[in-house]
Amino acid sequence: MKIVNVHEAKAHLSEYLAAVERGEEIVIARRNKPVARLVAVEREKPKKRRPFGLAKGKVWISENFNAPLDDELLGLFTGEKILSSDPLNPDWKPVRSGRGGSAFLRSG
């Protein structure tokens, strides 16, 4: 175990980190009183890999999954079409309710 002061620790940090990686322990002191201990971090053990097939039979993909979308639905995804109830629609207006005057997200 080596004891160093704060100034020395700042100046030679890379050297002390290398020493810690080799298994040494460094104590950092302020005015000759130990304040912190520099020690190596324990390496995490690799997690056990999950076996293939855990979700077998639990996922279903439709036969037409890759079929082209109709023009209306495709427009909603690409931004070419905007629903009247969408607040980003230029014609959208908030509707005030009778309870407390809060706005609901509905087209007017």
What range defines the domain where residue 14 resides? 2-38
> Is 60 inside a domain boundary?
no
> Is 27 inside a domain boundary?
yes
pTM (two decimals): 0.42
- Give the contacts of 102 (CB within 8 A, at least 6 positions apart): 96
> Is 25 inside a domain boundary?
yes
> Is 58 inside a domain boundary?
no
> Is 22 inside a domain boundary?
yes
CB-CB contact of 104 with 97 (8 Å): yes
- Give the bridge partners for 104, in sequence order: 95
Cβ neighbour number for residue 46 with a 10 Å cutoff: 6
* Interval 2-46: pLDDT, tens: 999 999 999 999 999 999 999 999 999 999 999 999 999 888 888
Largest interatomic CA distance in the chain: 76
* Interval 37-95: pLDDT, tens: 999 988 888 888 889 988 888 988 999 999 998 888 888 888 888 888 888 888 888 87
Q: What is the CATH number of the domain that holds 32?
A: 3.40.1620.10
Looking at the structure of the chain, the number of domains it has is: 1
